[in-house]
Amino acid sequence: MARPFIKMHGLGNDFVVFDARDDEFSLSADQVRAVADRRTGVGCDQLFVMEPSDKADVFMRIYNADGSEVAACGNGARCIARLVGDGRETVRIETLAGLIEGRADGAGAALDMGAPKLGWQEIPLAYAMDTLEMPVGWGMLERPVGVNMGNPHAVFFVERLDDVPITELGPEIETDPLFPEKVNVGVAEVLAPDAVRLKVWERGAGLTQACGTGACAAAVAAMRRKLTERKVTVHLPGGALEIEWREDGHVLMTGPAEISFTGQIDL
Ligand SMILES: N[C@@H](CCC[C@H](N)C(=O)O)C(=O)O
């Protein structure tokens, strides 16, 4: 049976959204991969199913393009916030990583992404080490910062982002046994105390135009290393996000969310 969907994106990080708030609906990993396929399906980096929630306005189920189910997606959360929260005072989204709360309008959203987790077991890593300066390296990428924003990130700081062969090193780091749940790989260049440039090789999706949790993780990593102030603009290939790591420990992410088109697909 044909199922309606909404195609959305946040800074070019693109999504297929199914609304299952009023019916029973689930997807197999094969179905996710088929929908996400850019040659034969709709094509997307992530796929979301909106389900009912008794704690929030909606439960957001998240799949990567490779079929894996994951707990967090920042750009996607802004898209879901826009769909269900436009016109409301606040919007609450339940995910496997917890509750996300904020405000949305017809252009995008400002969301409280919660507090980052910084312990090695929380990233998670395979064995104990300092997550502020991990004593490991892959080619020219060395000593990352580990941050969990509801999903695992390793953030590397470099002098010149354009010199980094991220499509070569990204998959190697993503699947390294040091990361038992794999990892999202961020490579960041600090431009100024309030600006960072970032590219992200996403776990389960590859190189994306933008990664919301990646931007939060890079900002937190830069602030932990004292490279920036607590409020930064993160410039990604698809555009910019405003990130603030507040004194209460929570990370606020502000940015756009756009509807590309709607359609139907046979599953
Ligand atoms: N694009 C996302 C992150 C999606 C999930 C990630 N690939 C993972 O596996 O954790 C974002 O905007 O945060």
* Alpha carbon nearest to ligand 1 atom 9, residue: 203
Residues 6+ apart with CB under 8 A from 10: 74, 75, 76, 78, 79, 108, 210, 212, 238, 255, 256, 257, 258
Give the span between the Cα atoms of 111 and 29, in whole angstroms: 29
Q: State mean pLDDT over 79-108.
A: 95
> H/E/C letters for each residue in 164-233?
CCHHHHHHHHHCCCCCCCCCEEEEEEEEECCEEEEEEEECCCEEECCCHHHHHHHHHHHHHCCCCCCEEE
- List active site positions: 73, 211
Amino acid 34: pLDDT: 98
Amino acid 81: pLDDT: 97
Question: Over 90: is that where the pLDDT of 228 sits?
Answer: yes
**Residue 94 contacts residue 53 (beta carbons within 8 Å):** yes
CATH class of the domain at 2-109+255-266 = alpha beta
Structure tokens at 257: 């969310």
Question: Over 80: is that where the pLDDT of 161 sits?
Answer: yes
Amino acid 1: pLDDT: 78
Q: Residue 258 — pLDDT band, cuts 50, 70, 90?
A: very high
Which residues' Cβ are closer than 6 Å to ligand 1? Answer: 13, 45-46, 64, 70, 73-76, 151, 184, 202-205, 208, 211-214
Question: So where are the chain's domains?
Answer: 2-109+255-266, 137-249
Q: State mean pLDDT over 244-250.
A: 98
DSSP states of 1-25 as a string? -EEEEEEEEETTEEEEEEE-SSS--
Structure tokens at 20: 């299952």
What ipTM describes this predicted complex? 0.99
Rg (the chain; Cα; Å): 17
Give the span between the Cα atoms of 167 and 164, in whole angstroms: 9
Q: Candidates 182, 184, 243: which one to mutate for ligand 1, based on the most atoms within 8 Å of Cβ?
A: 184
- The helix-helix angle for 74-85 and 212-224 (nearest 10°) equals 120
Question: Over 90: is that where the pLDDT of 86 sits?
Answer: no
Amino acid 198: pLDDT: 99
Model-level pTM greater than 0.80? yes
**Residue 247 contacts residue 99 (beta carbons within 8 Å):** no
Q: State mean pLDDT over 113-137.
A: 98
Polymer length in residues for the chain:
267
* Alpha carbon nearest to ligand 1 atom 5, residue: 73
Structure tokens at 101: 């709360």
Burial 145-166 (b: 16+ CB within 10 A, else e): bbbbbbbbbbbbbbeebeebeb
Q: How much distance in Å is there from the Cα of 214 to the middle of ligand 1?
A: 7
Question: Over 90: is that where the pLDDT of 225 sits?
Answer: yes
Average pLDDT, the chain: 98
Fold equal for 2-109+255-266 and 137-249? yes
Q: State mean pLDDT over 90-113.
A: 97
Q: Classify domain 137-249 at the CATH superfamily level.
A: Diaminopimelate Epimerase; Chain A, domain 1 (3.10.310.10)
